[in-house]
């Protein structure tokens, strides 16, 4: 191994005592290839197994915790006990390669396609549609329904424990329901779940509390609990960097094992609202967290030098998404001193060699600019 990359392979002990063998994890990436009933396919299992050998942990694609939480077609579920055997297959495929398996859990909220949810009844914090063409107006959840969804996150966590996962990650990013409750755009409520910035934190904090109680009751060994968030929104009014820093300051004291910022570019800077718009979002987050909880950074890390530069900021872990889809041996090549052999563009003829399921392959080939394709 090249000496300058050795820190990427130093172990990290999480707050709950679980040791990760290195600083590289697989980012949650949807693969659009599950069965309609929410079970995983053999193609997905092969996809995970092929990519889990070098990283310390794999954060799975998001799994819905309740039927009206499906955010898109062909992803796997964690909403009922009948899916535990399916969930176990994914955990086993990952863990057999030596990585920790972390199940990402979520609810789509107003992002859910009406065709996917019971009676087409899409729900959110408030009856405010997303700012995108053709967006449907959701129905505002009642307080009783909110409590049911909080419980559903707890039940999904119990299923993850029973299925052999090493942890769960709450998907509070990318415009899904948990983020919708924190956002002043989608949350116009005037009850205990909305209004002030502090009350907009109530729903995600209640989910964390529920998960922590389930872990305490059911896990027989230390179980990882993480939280993913998006730092800003384009909508007006929307989540600002200042809002997020206040939220992160609270999240850092919730007994979590890590926070995970969702970024398209690791070194991106805030849009508005902070004093210095030249400082990166990651720099602001690290200052606020102040070593209270590990931070996972992500976003366009394609080469070994990208990873080295990102780790130098002080983040504890790096999540690799597209890079490890393009080259499943990304981590091993750095570890073996072959970083110059990392492949950075997908060859249109290499789907089988790359072990990429049909659904994900179709998206890669048909969404311009998402992946570098040659």
Place of tokens 């080295």: 308
Which tokens go with 142?
Answer: 């009642």
d(CA 74, CA 337): 38
Q: Please work out, in degrees rounded to the nearest 5, the angle formed at the alpha carbon of residue 263 by the alpha carbons of 348 and 61.
A: 60
d(CA 218, CA 361): 38
d(CA 195, CA 320): 36
Place of tokens 């990952």: 94
* DSSP assigned state of 4: G
Contact, 272 vs 293, CB < 8 A? no
Place of tokens 């990585």: 99
Catalytic residues: 176
Cα distance from N-terminal residue to C-terminal residue, the chain: 29
Place of tokens 């909880």: 293
The DSSP bridge pattern shows strands 19-20 and 12-13 to be antiparallel
């Amino acid at each position: 191994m090249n000496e300058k990359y050795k820190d990427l392979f130093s172990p990290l002990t999480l707050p709950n005592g679980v040791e990760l063998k290195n600083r590289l994890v697989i980012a949650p990436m949807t693969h659009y290839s599950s069965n309609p009933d929410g079970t995983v396919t053999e193609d997905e299992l092969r996809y995970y197994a092929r990519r889990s050998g070098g990283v310390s942990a794999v954060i799975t694609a998001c799994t819905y915790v309740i039927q009206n939480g499906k955010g898109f077609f062909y992803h796997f579920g964690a909403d009922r006990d009948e899916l535990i055997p399916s969930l176990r297959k994914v955990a086993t495929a990952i863990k057999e390669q030596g990585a920790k398996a972390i199940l990402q859990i979520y609810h789509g909220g107003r992002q859910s396609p009406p065709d996917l949810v019971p009676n087409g009844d899409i729900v959110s914090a408030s009856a405010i549609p997303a700012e995108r063409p053709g967006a449907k107006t959701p129905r505002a959840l009642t307080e009783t329904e909110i409590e049911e969804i909080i419980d559903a996150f707890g039940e999904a966590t119990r299923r993850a424990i029973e299925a052999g996962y090493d942890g769960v990650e709450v998907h509070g990013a990318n415009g899904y329901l948990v983020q919708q409750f924190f956002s002043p755009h989608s949350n116009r409520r005037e009850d205990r779940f909305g209004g002030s910035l502090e009350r907009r934190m109530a729903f995600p904090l209640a989910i964390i509390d529920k998960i922590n109680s389930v872990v305490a009751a059911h896990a027989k060994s230390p179980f990882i609990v993480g939280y993913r968030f998006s730092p800003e929104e384009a909508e007006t009014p929307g989540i600002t960097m200042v809002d997020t820093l206040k939220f992160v300051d609270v999240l850092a004291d919730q007994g979590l094992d890590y926070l995970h910022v969702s970024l398209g570019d690791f070194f991106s800077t805030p849009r508005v609202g902070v004093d210095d718009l030249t400082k990166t979002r990651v720099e602001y987050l690290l200052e606020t967290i102040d070593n209270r909880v590990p931070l996972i950074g992500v976003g366009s890390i394609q080469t070994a030098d990208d990873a080295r530069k990102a780790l130098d900021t002080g983040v504890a872990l790096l999540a690799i998404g597209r890079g490890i889809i393009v080259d499943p041996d990304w981590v091993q090549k750095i570890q073996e001193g072959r970083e110059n052999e990392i492949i950075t563009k997908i060859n249109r003829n290499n789907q089988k060699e790359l072990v990429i399921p049909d659904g994900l392959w179709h998206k890669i080939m048909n969404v311009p600019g998402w992946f570098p394709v040659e």
